[in-house]
Amino acid sequence: MANILITGKTQLLGVIGHPVEHSLSPVMHNAAIAQLGLDYIYLPFPIEPENLEIAIAGFAAIDVVGFSVTIPHKQAILPLLSEITPIAQAIGAVNTVSRKNHQWVGTNTDIEGFITPLQTTYHQDWSQQVAVILGNGGAARAVVAGCHQLGFAKIHVVGRNMQKLQEFRNSWGNSPPAKNLQVHTWDALIKLIPQANLLVNTTPIGMHPKVNESPLSAEEIKKLPPGAIAYDLIYIPKPTQFLQQAQQQGAIAIDGLEMLVQQGLAALKIWLQQETLPVDVMRQALRNHLGLG
Ligand code: NAP
């Protein structure tokens, strides 16, 4: 990897979160910056919730170009922004902030991150297809919006808590994704899985260190139809137990690493105002960092 040289003109990018030390974003963004030979640096900023407002004001004062937003600030940052893109409004969360005319603009690149691996790998007409999404948290919102954008006929969201599921359903109001969206408790899976052309895990079940766990039982996964796509948002381990089980059933597997790369790529395009970026370098930097070679 090329080196980054800090000068008197170096421009600042970064990620805010709490905790933030496990973020993989600095690895991939600094790899791209170094490859492009740009005078930028991308840093981790651990910011406690009570310091969010003052931190964002400080970022404006020191001319930060843009930053990523992770847990717990994805919703809390909304009132501190001058503009929120329709896509971020639809999800109700911001993961990317940029500076435009001395004002902060928030957007969400998780939708693009989620759909790009589907679009680039599988050129399908999704209009007759059924998506089943496990989990109803923050990432599930981007997945629902992404499935809607791809044109899925039906989008089923499955969770463990009916009250949270109903809140999730109601939060979409009459917005376009709400039209084809249904929510179910976990016991509905046995009838939903046979219909699933796309099955997405947005729960943390199976994430390192609990690598032997899976959101689905062996019996449930056996109901997956031939040719289905199994997509796990988790990127450590790669692949998860869920993806291994699905592959054994003949499903096509997509893991969370490519989503991570693609949401980062979309953010970097916004900050650098540059369409052509070294995505292979970003992906490889992450793979090296995770010991995937
Ligand atoms: P979140 O907001 O906390 O949502 C997690 C969801 O999983 C909730 O609906 C929760 O249910 C459900 N859940 C958790 N444990 C469960 C269990 N034991 N059984 C059944 N359901 C369970 O988290 P998030 O931000 O959506 O992130 C979810 C996952 O996606 C994480 O693993 C994260 O690393 C990954 N992710 C990856 C990318 C990427 O770029 N690859 C991007 C974003 C997120 P309740 O609502 O009932 O609590």
Our mutation pick for probing the ligand 1 site, out of 95, 116, 233, 263, counting the most ligand atoms within 8 A of Cβ, is 233
Rounded to an integer, the average pLDDT of 183-203 is: 97
Listing DSSP states for 53-90 in one string gives HHHHHHHHHTT--EEEE-TTSTTTTGGG-SEE-HHHHH
- In degrees and rounded to multiples of 5, residue 276 shows phi and psi of -100, 115
Q: Write down the pLDDT at residue 121.
A: 78
Q: Write down the pLDDT at residue 127.
A: 94
Element (H, E) at 52: helix 52-61
Q: How far is CA 18 from CA 10, 53, 135, 193, 220, in A?
A: 25, 14, 22, 36, 36
Q: Is 223 designated active site?
A: no
Rounded to an integer, the average pLDDT of 270-287 is: 97
For residues 174 and 151, the model is more confident at 151
* Model pLDDT for residues 34-87, shown as the tens digit of each residue: 999 999 999 999 999 999 999 999 999 999 999 999 999 999 999 999 999 999
User: What contacts 71, CB < 8 A, 6 or more positions away?
Assistant: 17, 18, 138
Q: Does residue 137's CB lie within 6 angstroms of at least one atom of ligand 1?
A: yes
- In degrees and rounded to multiples of 5, residue 158 shows phi and psi of -115, 130
Q: Does residue 161's CB lie within 6 angstroms of at least one atom of ligand 1?
A: yes
* Model pLDDT for residues 212-251, shown as the tens digit of each residue: 999 999 999 999 998 999 999 999 999 999 999 999 999 9
SS3 102: coil
Our mutation pick for probing the ligand 1 site, out of 69, 185, 201, 202, counting the most ligand atoms within 8 A of Cβ, is 202
Domains and CATH numbers, the chain: 11-108+258-289 (3.40.50.10860), 112-254 (3.40.50.720)
- Is 90 exceeded by the pLDDT of residue 135? yes
Q: How far is CA 279 from CA 103, 112, 261, 266, in A?
A: 28, 14, 8, 10
Confidence label for 200 from pLDDT (cuts 50, 70 and 90): very high
**How many angstroms does the Cα of residue 40 sit away from the middle of ligand 1?**
32
Confidence label for 1 from pLDDT (cuts 50, 70 and 90): low
d(CA 67, CA 271): 8
